[in-house]
Amino acid sequence: MYLTTKETAELLSVAESAVQKLILEKKIRALFDGQQYLVNKEQFNTHLEQVEKYKRYVEELLNEPIPEDRDIKDED
Complete edge-to-edge strand list for the sheet that includes strand 2-4: 2-4, 37-40, 31-32
Q: What b/e sequence results for 27-57 when a residue is b if at least 16 CB atoms lie within 10 Å of its CB, and e otherwise?
A: ebebeeeeeebbbeeeebeeeeeeeeeeeee
Report which of residues 75 and 50 the model is more confident about: 50
| Residue 16 buriedness (CB in 10 A; 0-12 / 13-18 / 19+) | middle
- Asked if pLDDT for residue 15 goes beyond 70, the answer is yes
20-65 pLDDT, tens digit per residue, is 998 899 888 899 999 999 999 888 888 888 888 999 999 999 998 8
pTM equals 0.63
The pLDDT of residue 26 is 87
Q: Which strand (E) or helix (H) includes residue 32?
A: strand 31-32
